[in-house]
Amino acid sequence: MTKKSLFSTKTIVATGLGAALFMVLFMFVKIPSPVPETNLQIAYGVSAFFGAVFGPICGFLVAFIGHALNDFISYGAPWWSWVIASGVAALIGGAAYFMMDAESGKIGKTEILKFCIVNIIANFVAWVIVAPVLDIVIYSEPVNLVFAQGVVAFILDAICACVIGSLLLVAYAKTKTSKGSLTKD
């Protein structure tokens, strides 16, 4: 595994592109759940992917900026508790960056399993703990509602992070040439 930089030009560019992609997907590609203001959002698969490939800081910024911009454009102001929770999910999920080397083109079952486990834990912390607690503290929201929303968001976002994120990781890895795979004729 090569030494990884969390602050390269490539990472900064990826953060900007990822945040824009997250915002657009978050805004337009969602499936409502039975719980109010809680949707299946494939954008969380994108932030999980960016966190795994470019690091936890990139993942955090992709989700945080993308979610905040969506809220500004769609509602006029961000719902900070959920914006922060989106960032936390991608930040913690970005720990997968240290467990694999997507740049090498070697993403197998073990790496995907690690990626999914880390993202399930990350989404649990973000949506079952961070978002409901901040909803109560910042907005004085009803306890039963915010924890119901948090559990549904955890399930939906963990599924999106694992499924969409894994598909993106495998596709990304296939674009990379493995070291030593080319021979001189």
CATH (domain of 107) = 1.10.1760.20
Find the mean pLDDT for residues 66-76. 96
> Would 180 be classed as within a structural domain?
no
pLDDT value for 183: 63
User: Which residues, 6+ apart, have CB-to-CB distance to 164 below 8 Å?
Assistant: 42, 44, 45, 46, 48, 49
> Would 183 be classed as within a structural domain?
no
* Rounded CA separation 32/62 (Å): 22
- DSSP for residue 76: S
> Would 1 be classed as within a structural domain?
no
- Is residue 36 packed enough to be buried (19+ CB in 10 Å), middle (13-18) or exposed (0-12)? exposed
* Rounded CA separation 130/109 (Å): 30
Share of the chain above pLDDT 90, in %: 83
> Would 117 be classed as within a structural domain?
yes
pLDDT value for 63: 98
Q: Which domain holds residue 122?
A: 9-174
pTM of the model: 0.90
C-alpha distances out from residue 49 to 143, 164, 185, Å: 32, 8, 36
pLDDT value for 178: 63
Find the mean pLDDT for residues 5-26. 92
- Residue 3 scores a pLDDT above 60: no
- Residue 4 scores a pLDDT above 80: no
C-alpha distances out from residue 134 to 68, 80, 141, 158, Å: 16, 8, 9, 20
pLDDT value for 1: 46
> Would 179 be classed as within a structural domain?
no
Find the mean pLDDT for residues 93-114. 92
Q: In the chain, how many domains are there?
A: 1
> Would 185 be classed as within a structural domain?
no
> Would 2 be classed as within a structural domain?
no
Identity of the residue numbered 101 = D
> Would 24 be classed as within a structural domain?
yes
Residue of 79 and 177 predicted with greater confidence: 79
- Residue 92 scores a pLDDT above 90: yes
C-alpha distances out from residue 143 to 5, 19, 57, 86, 149, Å: 41, 31, 30, 20, 10
- What's the pLDDT band for 103 if we cut at 50, 70, 90? confident
Average pLDDT of the chain? 92
- Residue from 129, 35, 109, 19 nearest 73 by CA: 19
